[in-house]
Structure 1
Amino acid sequence: MKASTREDYVRLVYKVVFYIEQNADKELSLEELAKVAGFSKYHFHRIFKAVTGENIGDFIARVRLVYSAWKLKTEPKITNVALSCGFETNASFSKAFKNRFGMSPRAYATMLKAKKGVVMLKPTIVEFKPLSVFYVRKTGAYETSSCEAWNVLMAFAYEQRMKFRKNIMGKETMHFGIGHDNPSLVEQNLLRYDACITCEDESIELKSEVFKKVLEGGKCAVFLHKGAYENLKATYAQIMDWVVAEGIGLRDAPLFEKYLNRDPRRTKPENLRTEIYVPIA
């Protein structure tokens, strides 16, 4: 397969991936998804698996179940969670959840409540304004997928700046990362990470694995993580303790990170600063 043809397939399949993530609570037919990608429905599911390594039905089910685990942190009625995640009955939801995570939704919700403890972190509440970003999606363990995503995005940005003289990667540029999945619930090879940079230059053309989207605005609780990225997991655990202990309502949007150091590679780990944004209702 020609490199240019494969790039076209990757771009169109990931267009569907993002569509599924935004509409996981709705009924999604093969015909509808094939239409989003512009493929024939007779070939679409094979192309999807060739690009992602996962059957489209399995991907939809996984996204819905991970979303449901997130909802169970603050929604006490399991039936409401089931319906909001695209399941027709409580029974079908409970069976799928147990098959995926090894426990029932009720047992998982009970476990979350039992983890309430002393919350050391205190957030700042802000109104986040929507931002247009260029981004690259990579899948795999966050330690590697994040590096891979940033390597591709930075190569693209510096080529645009140095070769094509585009207005990108200036002092005003903001850097964000989005980890869509909980490593405690999702296999390492399936974790989804987006590396994102802001840029207002509309003349820049997308290339290969680089896409463009808008980070949604809205009310957020912002936590400051100080130190190495390897220790982010502990900070996220404290954040979830805060969500559960305070009974905070969460919006249907992923958490995201804003990296405050201009060049993390030249910054000592103990001096790294990361803001973690939690979309709240």
Structure 2
Amino acid sequence: MSKMVKDDYIQSVCRVILYIEQNYNSALNLEELSKVASFSKYHFHRIFKSVVGESIGNYIRRVRLSNSTLQFKTNQKITQIAMNCGYETNASFSKAFKKHFGITPKVFAKNAKLKRGNKMLEPKIVKLEDIEILYVRKTGEYTKCSIKAWETLINFVSKEYFIRDDVMMFGIGHDNPHVTDADKLRYDACVSWVDKTIQTKGEIQSKIIDGGKYAVFLHKGDYIKLINTYDGVSNWIVESGVRLRDLPIFEKYLNKNPITCNKDDLRTEIYIPII
């Protein structure tokens, strides 16, 4: 297979992945997704599995269930969460949830709302405009796949681009490492797309970080300790009773040269989409 054809396949699958993640709460079928990919439905499922490493049905199911976990920290009923995630009945959602996570949604909801007794974090509330980004997706343990994602993106865009004053760096971790297998964690390394002479190619894709209202938490220190701050964020969601928008949480990295920066001086903003 030529590199050009391989890049086309990857581009097509990336379009479908983005489409699934933006429409996972709708009824999705192979014919619809193959049109998004511009492939025959008879061949698309094979191409998808070859690129992603799992069937398209399993991928859709995992995205839906992963997106349900944060909603358990709110006051929504399980039936509503099931509908939000594209399941027609509570029973079908509960069956899929227990098979995936090993416990029922009711037990998971109870555990999710347990207070840990940590000091309450307080965010600042901001309103953002839409942000166009270039990004690359890698899958695996966050501490490892994030490095691969940034290496790929930096090599494609150039190091000089990242140190520009008008360029922002973001990361999107789509899955909760407490409940998702490490080899299935999805991470996007993202940079604001301010230079339109740079074009997407292969696994380098473009999308928009949606604007609107966000609660922003500041994490100080090593990235490896971000998970502790996320636990505090989860507590805030429960205690504040805030309503969440159906969008991914994302991180903004404030240090232009994080590799050479002292780990204690690293600063990361965590953006929680709220209504």
The TM-score, its normalising length taken from structure 1, stands at 0.94
The DSSP-based 3-state class of the residue aligned with 1:195 is strand
* Structure-2 residue corresponding to 1:164: none
Partner Cα separation in structure 2 for residue 222 and residue 168 of structure 1: 23
Partner Cα separation in structure 1 for residue 80 and residue 116 of structure 2: 23
Map Cα deviations across residues 38-78 of structure 1 (whole Å, 9 max, x no partner).
11111111111000000000000111111112222214311
Structure 1 stretch displaced more, 90-99 or 201-210: 201-210
* Structure-1 residue corresponding to 2:121: 121
Partner Cα separation in structure 2 for residue 233 and residue 137 of structure 1: 20
The DSSP-based 3-state class of the residue aligned with 1:193 is strand
Q: Do structure 1's residue 68 and structure 2's residue 62 form an aligned pair?
A: no
* Structure-1 residue corresponding to 2:9: 9
Give % identity: 51
* Structure-2 residue corresponding to 1:267: 261
Map Cα deviations across residues 108-132 of structure 1 (whole Å, 9 max, x no partner).
1111222353433211111122111
Q: Do structure 1's residue 58 and structure 2's residue 58 form an aligned pair?
A: yes
Structure 1 stretch displaced more, 216-225 or 72-81: 72-81
CA shift, 1:175, in A, is 0.6
Partner letter of residue 28 of structure 2? L
* Structure-2 residue corresponding to 1:220: 214
Partner Cα separation in structure 1 for residue 168 and residue 122 of structure 2: 23
The DSSP-based 3-state class of the residue aligned with 2:194 is coil
Matches within 5 A, 1:83-122: 83-115=83-115, 117-122=117-122
CA shift, 1:5, in A, is 1.4
CA shift, 1:280, in A, is 0.9
Partner letter of residue 15 of structure 1? R
Map Cα deviations across residues 70-102 of structure 1 (whole Å, 9 max, x no partner).
222214311111111111111111111111111
Map Cα deviations across residues 230-252 of structure 1 (whole Å, 9 max, x no partner).
10010000100110111111111
Partner Cα separation in structure 2 for residue 105 and residue 114 of structure 1: 14
Contact 1:168–1:201 under 8 Å retained in 2: no
Partner Cα separation in structure 2 for residue 114 and residue 131 of structure 1: 35
The DSSP-based 3-state class of the residue aligned with 1:266 is coil
* Structure-1 residue corresponding to 2:236: 242
Q: Report the aligned-residue RMSD.
A: 1.4
Aligned residues: 275
Contact 1:116–1:245 under 8 Å retained in 2: no
Matches within 5 A, 1:82-231: 82-115=82-115, 117-158=117-158, 169-231=163-225
* Structure-2 residue corresponding to 1:24: 24
Map Cα deviations across residues 128-171 of structure 1 (whole Å, 9 max, x no partner).
22111111111111111111111111111118x6xxxxx77512
